[in-house]
Structure formats: C-alpha cells, structure tokens
Amino acid sequence: MFSLEQLRETMKKQNLDGLYLSQIDNVRYVSGYTSDDATLFVTLQHQYFLTDPRYTEQAAAECPDWELVNWREIGTMADAVAACAQKEGCKAVGFEGSVISFDAYQTLRERLTCDLVSVNGMIEEFRSYKTPYEISCLRAACDIACRAYERILDDIRVGMTEKELASRLSHYMVMEGADTQPYGNILISGARTSLLHGIPSSKSVEYGDFVLMDFGCGYKGYLSDMTRTVVVGQASDRQKEVYNLCRKMTEIGIEHMTVGTTAKEVYDATCTVIEGTEYYPYHYTGIGHGIGVFVHEIPFLGPKSTIPLHKDTVMTIEPGLYIPNWGGCRIEDQILITENGNENLISATHELIEL
C-alpha cells in the first residue's frame, strides 16, 4: 500500500535523497490532489507541492501535509524544483525521464550540481497494487459504465450516427454518476469496426452492422474500461463466427488471470482459440492493461510480458479480431486479481446481442 514512508524506503534503496514527480496521474496518486498543472518534490524529510496561484487554494485544502510552493515566484517550475533541491542539499534526485520535457531537463541540469537519475515506473509499481478504497472506486466506475451500456442499447438503431450515439453514451455515464472529465469513448460501426482505436464519425448505423463500443468513465478519478460489440439486425454467419471466437478468447483469458500467471501465459491462452483458423492473422497482441487513475498502466498483457500477475491488481482483458475493410470485434472486461482467482468487475453479458 502506498505511503510517503514507503516511497522514502524505495528512494533510499535507489540511493536517492530527492524525487521530482511531474506525471500528473502520479502527482494525484501520491498527494491526493485532484486537479492539473502541479508537480511534487519529495526528500527524505520533507515534501513540496509546486503549482501556480490558479491551484494554490485547492492544493492547500487537498494536500495539507505538503509545503506549498508557488513556482511563479521563483521562475519556472524547473527553477522552483532546483531551489527545493538546493535548500535540502540533495545529492541525487530522481525524475521521470519519460515525462519531463527536454527544456525542463536542461534547466535542472544547469541549476543543480547533484546527480539526476531517471526513475521511470517507481510510482506506477505502487499503483499496480490497489487498496480497498481504490477497488471500491473502480468497481463503482465499472457499474456506471454497465448501466450506461444498458441504456445505449435502446438507442442504437439504423440511421443514428456514431457521433450521436457516442455522445449519448458519455451523457448516460455522467447521469449514472461518472466524473465529468472527458474520456475518449470509441463507438464505431460497420467496416469501421476494424479500426482498433477508431474515432466516432458522422457515419450512420446501417442494418447488419457490427457496432463496437469501447468506453468507460471515471469515478472519483478511478477509471473503467469495457468493450462490447453488438449487431444491428440479424448477425451473419461470419459475424457469429468472429464474435464467438472473440468471446472465447476473452473468457479463456479471464480463466488464466490468476496470481502468479504471467501476462504472456494469459496471451498464449487466448491465442489457442484462433490458432489454425483463418482469423489468426487478424488478432492484435496487446490484449490488456492495468487500470486505475490512468487508463493504460502496468501490467500489460501481451506476448513480451513475463511479469507474473499479483493480488489486488485491476486490469482489462480485451482480445479482438480486426479484418480490414470488413469489420472487427472485441469484448473487454475489467478484472480484479484476487487471492484465489479473480473477479470480473464488468457485469454486462457476453451473449451476442442482435438489436
């Protein structure tokens, strides 16, 4: 479980006496702050919250244990971080190398005489262990998405555009209790369903279309992510065949999502469903991801990941088949790994729905 003491233990193990965090999801996770444009500087004794006057009132209320720094009084954000590190006499400062800009890095390099060490993934590792509170928020986010899904099914009919349906789906989630922050929902139809991350367009839904909905919402900052594929009218034999393969892949994957199983083993299990079929070339190898305050976080499910899954991780499983110029199908659930197996947080049916 995350605490500043735990973080400081991790810093000590890596010989760091300062840590600069600028990835906003990590900032929120570590400090409890819920807005934007802020960074953190943690030393072995103190913790600083750096932002500008737009957010100081909120930060003071949400992060009472942090020393508030208005970076505008000092110069740039990087100047303020450098000032904190100097004041604390830091010798080795960790920073998120994959997040910080080149200019900010150069400023830190110029201002600081100490070592700068890139420590990507330190907070993400903490984030992959969900607390009971986080799990309850994730569960609520999944329930909201499922309720909105039930409502959108009543709206999907010939002539409705993807955009109209996508915006209704977002609206239903907010009405059902979701946070209002925008979330890039995918709702695509017909041949466009082979686009893995297609953007809803002004195309109208037609009879016989697959409609693929990959969507989710936030609840107190914690996210849900689910996908369902339905048919408008009667499904063709090929649609049924593709749908059933996708369904089996997801279900076999879920069976394998247990403590100690590696991400690769889950991926391999899903592939057994399509091996030797004409559809094998149409699968995509990234079939799931951790999810929490950010939609894609460790662990990732795929052929290259040998990390074993652990208890209290919440992650998606979303194998799919994507046939260019014909269409695609995906069924995605959000799974909590438990001591004795797992729990599917998405309650929506896997049965093929023909509207």
Q: Can you tell me which of 43, 193, 316, 342 binds Mn ion, judged by CB under 5 A? A: 316
Q: Is 220 left (phi over 0), alpha (psi -120 to 50) or beta?
A: left
In angstroms, the first-to-last Cα distance of the chain is 45
> Considering only residues 152-181, where is the footprint of Mn ion by CB under 5 A?
none
Return the number of the residue (104 or 257) whose C-beta is nearest Mn ion: 257
Cis peptide bond upstream of 299, omega within 30: yes
Pick the closest to residue 212 from 326, 93, 50 (CA basis): 326
- By the rule CB under 5 A, 43 interacts with Mn ion: no
Return the number of the residue (94 or 290) whose C-beta is nearest Mn ion: 290
Return the number of the residue (104 or 186) whose C-beta is nearest Mn ion: 186
User: Smallest gap, in angstroms, from Cβ of residue 343 to Mn ion?
Assistant: 18
Q: DSSP characters for 119-182?
A: -TTHHHHHHTS--HHHHHHHHHHHHHHHHHHHHHHTT--TT-BHHHHHHHHHHHHHHTT---S-
Q: How many residues sit in the footprint of Mn ion (CB under 5 A)?
A: 2
Cβ contact 225:315 at 8 Å: no
Window contacting Mn ion (CB under 5 A); options: 61-69, 175-183, 251-259, 312-320: 312-320
> Considering only residues 213-242, where is the footprint of Mn ion by CB under 5 A?
225
Residue least distant from Mn ion (Cβ): 225
Tokens of 14: 């890596």
User: Smallest gap, in angstroms, from Cβ of residue 92 to Mn ion?
Assistant: 37
Return the number of the residue (8 or 289) whose C-beta is nearest Mn ion: 289
Return the number of the residue (179 or 225) whose C-beta is nearest Mn ion: 225
Cβ contact 199:161 at 8 Å: no
User: Smallest gap, in angstroms, from Cβ of residue 105 to Mn ion?
Assistant: 31
Please give the residue ranges that form the binding site for Mn ion (CB under 5 A): 225, 316
